[in-house]
Amino acid sequence: MAKILDKNHSNHTKLVKLRQSYDWLSEELIGLTEIYESKKQKELNKFIASANKKLEKSAFLACDKEGYAQSELEAKLQKYDVRAYMSQRKINHSAVKAIFKAVAAGEDYSAVLEKRSAEMKALNEKRAKYIAALESKKQAFLAKNNVTDTAPYDALKAELDAQYSAKKKELDEKYGAKQAAHAAKLEAKRSKISAQIAELKKNSPAAYTLPDDVLLEVKGLKMYFGGLKAVDDLNFTVKKGEIFGLIGPNGAGKTTVFNCITQFYKPTGGEIHFATKDKEVISLTDFEVHDIVLQGISRTFQNIEVVKEVSVLDNLLIAATRHYSSNLFVQMLHLPLLRREERMITARADKILNYMDLYSYRDRLAWGLPYGVLKRIEIARALMCNPQLIILDEPAAGLNESETKDLAALINKIRTELGCTILLVEHDMSLVMNICDHICAISFGRKLADGTPAEVQASKEVQEAYLGVGGE
Amino acid sequence: MSNRMNKYLSDSLLKQESERQGAELWGKLIKRPTFSFAVFAVVMILIQALSKAGLIGSSFVNAVGSTLIFCIVGLGFCLLLGYSALASLGTAGFIAIGSYSAYYCLAEWGLTIGIGFIVAILFAVVIGIAVGYISLRIEGIYLAIVTLGISEIIKELLSALCDTIKIKGTQITLLGIESIKLKTDVIYYGIVVILFILMFVTQNLMNSPTGRAMLAMKNSTSAAQAFGVSLMKYRLMAFTISIIYASIAGFMYMLYIRYVSNSMGNLFTLSMSLNVLGAVIIGGMKSIWGTIGGMFIIYGIDQMFLQDIPFFNENPTFITLFCGILVIVVVMFYPGGLAQLALELKYKLASRKQKIKEGIYGKDLG
């Protein structure tokens, strides 16, 4: 409780909020062009549709009179056939009913069949008559318009083209101005927020400093469960932009370390420092487990924890729960604020789904999706919160060789393209040795070796931990 | 179909598109849940209007009215059980809060309906947060037992305060004006309007970040926490909302029935809480329509129809038996409740429609 009342802590909470709204505004600014473009396109499409409607008839008259007449005829005939089908069904139904009645009464039902065939015949005759009428209408039309003349079409088209370009210019100006005004408004807000952030940073002196390139520092981490020392005096640092691997035999305490970093467990002792986006160094142990995601750390789980009764898209939206600023009242009435936020976050989710090659699953329930897809959904969900550090807990568990290869490529892609730092626990040594820049090997909660993959492989302690102590 | 026809069709696609959009707009309006809620509200209002015209018996309308009150309770329960997976057996006690606030505000202190309504909600919020803060650290069957105990405490306290609560018709006034007295039929309309508003609000909550966070919490607490869902906050929210709904229902019950005796009747008891639970399970925990259907089955069927049948009229225990068998059958064959049944029927109908279309247009177009 004392920590929560701490001035630095409250400053930090303010800073996180400001940073969130700053990111939000930046996202809104990027999405602005798309919104106005789509608005403009909508109006243009309306115009094109009406213009085409006007052009349609004259186009047919200009080039293919017979085709136009024939298609008109066929369209009418099709409509007629739909109606005819219904009356046919009616006849059949009543015939069947009558037959049942007759059979039940023990009478002869041949009269019913005769009546039905007569009715069908009448129907067919009616159809033939209708076709003849349409045919004569068509001939009359062709006789009336027997001269080929493309001039009216050309004139109309030129006129409409001119109208279109004028309309487009007008819309460009209108929406361009609107967009510029909107962007200026957002920009002003953003600069105000960034000024506030700078002010706040100046006022809160750093309690602890990390070297510039370090993102996460674990120092003397201890986690005891009663007498069991799951993690004992563990030290390591994760640098910005690297893929850091934590390895160790079963029961070495790797997942416990992760749970300590994400505050699922409150460590018995030791410090965990993390450099946020604002280059502010925070101690993660000061935060509640559900506040960790706000600091820029997101994680995946060893056994997949996707919500199975909602769609894949909703799974991603769940990860962005803390990004909404609308309160309960707004949510109860679905006021415009929520709708706007919903649209923006859905756009972000769509982008991530595309990035992760998951877009085809967007609206499907997560129930019953293949294992590999669920794994990718987990990573996509971790990406939803704009994290700096992604913690992957055994990402390759249960995947086959080719899937593991794809996963390695994906992790590399996320690191290079999105600039996320990745911390992973893995049993699959080929994956770890391939992609990790830095590895820390632990056993029974203690560090064995720390360094590049080659160094760790060469370490004698690591070999002993994995293979047992052997005589030379 | 000829080639020319195809060409014509592709050329006039834009025209069809605009026509289709017009149809879609109407289709969208119809498909909106709010539209169906409004239709439901209008039907319920029509029932009262028809009874005024003498076409429907007043006992039937009374049964519908009290069922609608329980529908309000069910909506809150739907959020609590279906979305947050918290089972509460304390519903009866929370309904009693609303009823007693109605009695004290209107009959004892002579306040108006509006103020009484706000007091009922305030009491619900205070008790919800206090009880929730203590008891929501546990879940599952333990929470059910704790809420049951709290409900019994509330009920005993309230009945010790005043055993028989009664409101006279003259005490129900709007805006404190003596001349405007609300009769039972006006209260009935009020119930329908409140139910409609709460259905709308509940639907919105279910489709908002809050509803999704609750679902996440229900499925995996650790994943929910990792993505910023505070368990305590959302559990408290669901719990308090359900208590507010129950309190509103209790308030409306007091206005509608106007007489509750704790020692004589068996109103605010465990069986009421269990009935609400049963109805929500029968209907489908995650569905508003399912919940309302379940309420109509549990509370509606016996009062509306079965009581008129001589056999059930003579042996009222058989009504309970009937409901019990229904619960067993539904849980055995449709664990998702009636909502699941409706969904399956809908798919069947859709596939049949498709077949008819294929019969007319051929396979590729249908």
Q: Which residues of A touch B210 (CB under 8 A)?
A: 328, 331
Q: Which has the minimum average pLDDT: A232-246, A249-263, A305-319, B255-269?
A: B255-269
Q: Rank A415-429, B21-35, B180-194 by mean pLDDT and report only the highest.
A: A415-429
Which residues partner with A282 through β-bridges? A274
**Minimal CA separation from B260 to chain A, in Å:** 33
Q: How many helices (H) and strands (E) does chain B have?
A: 17, 2
Work out the percent of chain A whose per-residue pLDDT is above 90: 36
pLDDT of A398 > 50? The answer is yes
Q: Which residues of A touch B226 (CB under 8 A)?
A: 262, 264, 289, 292-293, 298-299, 301
- Per-residue DSSP letter, A451: E
CA atoms within 13 A on the CB side of B116: 31
pLDDT value at position B176?
57
Q: Among residues A77, A75, A39, which one has the least CA distance to residue A56? A: A75
* Residue B171 domain flag: yes
The residue type at B322: F
In angstroms, how far is CA B222 from the centroid of its own chain? 30
Instruction: Answer whether A331 sits within 8 Å of B204, measured CB to CB.
Output: yes
Instruction: Answer whether A292 sits within 8 Å of B229, measured CB to CB.
Output: no
Instruction: Answer whether B14 sits within 8 Å of A324, measured CB to CB.
Output: no
pLDDT of A335 > 70? The answer is yes
**Minimal CA separation from A305 to chain B, in Å:** 6
DSSP A387-446: -SEEEEESTTTT--HHHHHHHHHHHHHHHHHH--EEEEE-S-HHHHHHH-SEEEEEETTE
Tens digits of residue pLDDT in B48-64? 999 888 888 888 888 89
pLDDT value at position B181?
67
ipTM score of complex: 0.83
Mean pLDDT of A85-101: 86
pLDDT value at position B108?
86
Q: How far apart are CA A391 and CA A300, in angstroms?
A: 6
Taking CA–CA distances from B207, the nearest residue in chain A reads: A331
Q: E strands, A153-312, where?
A: 214-225, 228-239, 243-247, 269-275, 281-283, 297-299
pLDDT value at position A360?
93
Mean pLDDT of B85-99: 91
- Residue B226 belongs to domain with CATH number: 1.10.3470
Instruction: Answer whether B15 sits within 8 Å of A331, measured CB to CB.
Output: no
Tens digits of residue pLDDT in A364-395? 888 889 888 999 999 999 999 889 999 999 88
pLDDT value at position A8?
66
pLDDT value at position B265?
57
Considering CB atoms only, which of A52, A82, A301 is closest to B14? A52
Residue B184, judged by CB atoms within 10 A of its CB (0-12, 13-18, 19+), counts as: middle
Q: What is the 3-state composition of chain B as percent helix, strand, coil, each rounded to the nearest 5?
A: 80, 0, 20
* Residue B344 domain flag: no
Residue A273 binned pLDDT confidence (cut-offs 50, 70, 90) = very high
Q: Which residues of A touch B128 (CB under 8 A)?
A: none
Chain B positions contacting chain A at CB under 8 Å are 1-2, 4-5, 7-9, 11-12, 14-15, 17-18, 201, 204-205, 207-210, 212-213, 215-216, 219-220, 222-231, 237, 286, 359-360
Tens digits of residue pLDDT in B149-171? 999 999 889 888 888 888 877 77
Considering CB atoms only, which of A53, A291, A301 is closest to B222? A301
Q: How far apart are CA A436 and CA A434, in angstroms?
A: 6
Tens digits of residue pLDDT in A445-465? 888 888 899 888 888 888 888
Taking CA–CA distances from A341, the nearest residue in chain B reads: B209
- Per-residue DSSP letter, A278: T
pLDDT, averaged across chain B = 84
Instruction: Answer whether B216 sits within 8 Å of A307, measured CB to CB.
Output: yes
Mean pLDDT of B333-346: 86
Instruction: Answer whether B15 sits within 8 Å of A49, measured CB to CB.
Output: yes
Work out the percent of chain B whose per-residue pLDDT is above 70: 87
Q: Rank A394-398, B184-188, B247-251, B323-327 by mean pLDDT and report only the highest.
A: B247-251
pLDDT of B11 > 90? The answer is no
A contact test, residue of B8, B20, B21, B218 with most A CBs within 10 A: B8
Considering CB atoms only, which of B5, B220, B286 is closest to A305? B220
Give me the sign of the Cα torsion angle B253, B257, B258, B260. Answer: negative
Residue B4 binned pLDDT confidence (cut-offs 50, 70, 90) = very low
Q: How far apart are CA A248 and CA A106, in angstroms?
A: 87
**Minimal CA separation from B111 to chain A, in Å:** 27
Taking CA–CA distances from A334, the nearest residue in chain B reads: B204
Print the domain residue range for B42: 34-301
Token representation of residue A133: 């009428």
Q: Among residues A312, A332, A309, A331, which one has the least CA distance to residue B284? A: A309
pLDDT of B117 > 50? The answer is yes
Considering CB atoms only, which of A264, A298, A324 is closest to B209? A324
Mean pLDDT of A127-143: 90
Strands B259-261, B164-166: pairing kind: antiparallel
Instruction: Answer whether A53 sits within 8 Å of B14, measured CB to CB.
Output: yes
Q: Which residues of A touch B230 (CB under 8 A)?
A: 288, 290
Q: Among residues B99, B79, B77, which one has the least CA distance to residue B90? A: B77
B contact test, residue of A52, A66, A71 with most B CBs within 10 A: A71
Q: How far, CA to CA in Å, does A204 sit from each of A282, A296, B272, B285?
A: 12, 20, 57, 49
Q: How far, CA to CA in Å, does B87 sit from each of A88, B82, B235, B283?
A: 57, 9, 11, 16
pLDDT value at position B22?
65
CA atoms within 13 A on the CB side of A293: 25
DSSP B168-230: -GGG-BSTT-TT-B--HHHHHHHHHHHHHHHHHHHHHHHTSHHHHHHHHHHH-HHHHHHTT--
Mean pLDDT of A418-434: 89
Considering CB atoms only, which of B219, B229, B359 is closest to A321? B229
Domain count within chain B: 1
pLDDT of B9 > 90? The answer is no
Considering CB atoms only, which of B8, B14, B224 is closest to A71? B8
A contact test, residue of B16, B227, B358 with most A CBs within 10 A: B227
Mean pLDDT of B218-239: 92
Mean pLDDT of A197-209: 78
A with B: how many residue pairs have Cβ under 8 Å apart?
A: 119
Q: Which residues of B touch A290 (CB under 8 A)?
A: 225, 228-231
pLDDT, averaged across chain A = 87
Q: Which has the minimum average pLDDT: A182-191, A268-277, A456-465, B2-11?
A: B2-11
**Minimal CA separation from A86 to chain B, in Å:** 9
pLDDT of A142 > 50? The answer is yes
Work out the percent of chain A whose per-residue pLDDT is above 70: 96
Q: How far, CA to CA in Å, does A181 sit from each of A37, A43, A411, B144, B273?
A: 15, 20, 40, 56, 57
Residue in this structure with the two tokens 């090659």, named with its chain if needed: A357
Q: Which has the minimum average pLDDT: A36-50, A137-151, B94-108?
A: A137-151
pLDDT of B177 > 70? The answer is no
Q: Rank A319-323, B109-113, B244-248, B340-344 by mean pLDDT and report only the highest.
A: B244-248
pLDDT of B202 > 90? The answer is yes
Domain ranges of chain A: 1-205, 214-467
Q: Is pLDDT larger for residue B35 or for residue B335?
A: B35
CATH topology of domain A214-467: Rossmann fold (3.40.50)
